[in-house]
Amino acid sequence: MTRSVAAIACGMPKAELHVHIEGTLEPELAFALAERNAVRLPYASVDALRAAYEFQDLQSFLDVYYAGASVLLHEQDFYDLAQAYLRRAAADHVVHAEIFFDPQTHTARGVPFEVVLDGLERALHDGLRALGVSSRLILCFLRHLPEADAFATLEQALPHLGRIHGVGLDSSERGHPPSKFERVFARCRELELPCVAHAGEEGPPAYIWEALDLLQVRRIDHGVRALEDERLVERLRAARIPLTVCPLSNVKLRVFPDMRRHNLKRLLDAGLAVTVNSDDPAYFGGYVNDNIRAVQDALDLSAADWRRIARTSFEASLVDEPTRARWIADLDAYFARK
């Protein structure tokens, strides 16, 4: 029996390189943690909360996302959150996940940096043992806050650098260009932390240029607006800078009016290194394989396209070369059986 392209892509081993752990907080867990921690959520029920997931743009989402994070207080809460994500990822044949976390969202509420890190790391450790999912943590600076706050967060991270595998930049993009964080990223590079940044999600191609030239990032998160600038496309293509694209997120946040109008296929056809990711799966309608199915329905990629996307997800990961090569060999073996 021949399997559909969607089934082949869903079953292939892959890495997820763009997922915010706070964005994996499903309404059911949010309510369970709210009760456990005696925190009041401004919604009457799980259904009412889910019904609030109608967004006009990035900011309207972030308002709900930061409100949801208020239920996360204790080490066990961060553990439960990450464990739930890893179970979903494993079910989608994700063998490696590079997970963003936003310490400032928690330290601003009095939750110690170590509580966040300890809970996430313990879940990741158990996830490797119980589910076989490998993972890395990427600390994101919130770009709507001043650079001084990012420096203070980096200071808190210093005793734990062996447990943090990279730094990123997220939150409200418009009006907060990468140049605002040039000095803190320079310091991160001195500390030999791999750097990535959200750019070109809502913001203009100029923000992608800044992320490359000023922050010297190795990956661009989203980057879909790169296609508006031919010179930029050439730069990204020549340097093989990966774009971690999040299709359902882009439709939910109205970067594209619907999936048929998403430019993923055009990014691939332009020769760019593209991966497919879930961003904030609890809010945007699903995990990696939900993204794959939605893209496949609308854009009809080939099995070769999906194989290339999975290969890129491994090549673009932060792990060492022998590990990447092993995953790519597993991917080749999977497609040899198809």
Residues taking part in catalysis = 201
- Number of neighbouring beta carbons within 10 Å of residue 260: 11
Q: Does 279 bind Zn ion (CB under 5 A)?
A: yes
The residue within the footprint of ligand ADE, chosen from 198, 219, 225, 311 (CB under 6 A), is 198
Q: Which stretch binds Zn ion (CB under 5 A): 172-180, 227-235, 274-282, 329-337?
A: 274-282
Q: Among residue numbers 164 through 183, which ones bind ligand ADE (CB under 6 A)? A: 170-171
Total of chain residues touching Zn ion, rule CB under 5 A = 1
**Of Zn ion, ligand ADE, none, which one sits near residue 201, judging by CB under 5 to 8 A according to partner kind?**
ligand ADE
Give the angle 325-208-303 at the CA atoms, nearest 5°: 40
| Amino acid in the structure at residue 240 | R
Q: Among residue numbers 258 through 297, which ones bind ligand ADE (CB under 6 A)? A: 279-280
Q: How far is the CB of 52 from ligand ADE (least distance, A)?
A: 16
Cβ distance to ligand ADE smaller for residue 16 or 170: 170
The residue within the footprint of ligand ADE, chosen from 26, 77, 92, 201 (CB under 6 A), is 201
Torsional sign, CA 241, 247, 252, 257: positive
Q: CB-based contacts of 53: which residues, under 8 Å, 6+ apart?
A: 64, 252, 283
Q: Where does the chain have alpha helices with state H?
A: 5-11, 27-37, 46-51, 58-68, 75-91, 103-107, 113-131, 147-157, 182-190, 205-213, 230-238, 247-252, 264-269, 281-284, 288-299, 303-315, 321-337
Total of chain residues touching ligand ADE, rule CB under 6 A = 11
| Contact footprint for ligand ADE (CB under 6 A) | 20, 23, 58, 65, 170-171, 198, 201, 249, 279-280
| Contact footprint for Zn ion (CB under 5 A) | 279
